Copies of this chain bind each other. A is one copy, B any other.
Amino acid sequence: MIRPARGFPKAEFESRTSRAQRLMAENDISALLLTTEAEVRYYTGFLTRFWESPTRPWFVILPATGAPIAVIPSIGAHLMRQTWITDIRTWQAPDYIDDGISLLASTLIEVTAAGAQIGIADQMESSLRMPLAGFRRLEQILAPRAITGDCGITRQLRLVKSDTELAKIRTATAIADRAFDRLPEIAQAGVPLAQVFRDFQRLCLEEGADYVPYLAGGAGHGGYGDVISPATDRPLARGDVLMLDTGLVWDGYFCDFDRNFSIGPPTSAVVSAHEKLIDATQAAFDIAQSGSVISDLFHAMNARINPTAASSDAGRLGHGLGMQLTEWPSIIAADHTPLVPGMVLTLEPGITLPDGQIMVHEENIVVTEGAAEWLSTPQPADIRVI
Interface residues of chain A, those whose CB is within 8 Å of chain B, are 6, 38, 47-50, 52-56, 73-79, 82, 92-97, 99, 120-133, 135-136, 149, 194, 197-199, 201-202, 205-206, 208-216, 225-233, 247, 311-316, 319, 324-326, 330, 332, 334-335
Contact = CB atoms under 8 A, between A and B. Distances in A.
A128 B201 CA distance: 30
Nearest to A36: B54
B216 A325 contact: no
A326 B226 contact: no
A332 B225 CA distance: 46
A98 to B, nearest CB: 11
Nearest to A320: B55
A73 B97 CA distance: 37
Copies of this protein in the complex: 2
22 contacts: A50-B228, A52-B213, A53-B324, A53-B326, A54-B125, A55-B125, A55-B319, A74-B313, A75-B315, A78-B226, A93-B315, A94-B124, A94-B332, A95-B315, A96-B124, A96-B332, A97-B334, A122-B136, A128-B132, A133-B149, A198-B209, A198-B210
A123 B131 contact: yes
Nearest to A129: B127
Contacts of A209: 198
B127 A49 contact: no
B127 A122 contact: no
B126 A122 contact: no
A95 B77 CA distance: 39
Contacts of A149: 132-133
Nearest to A229: B79
Contacts of A77: 313
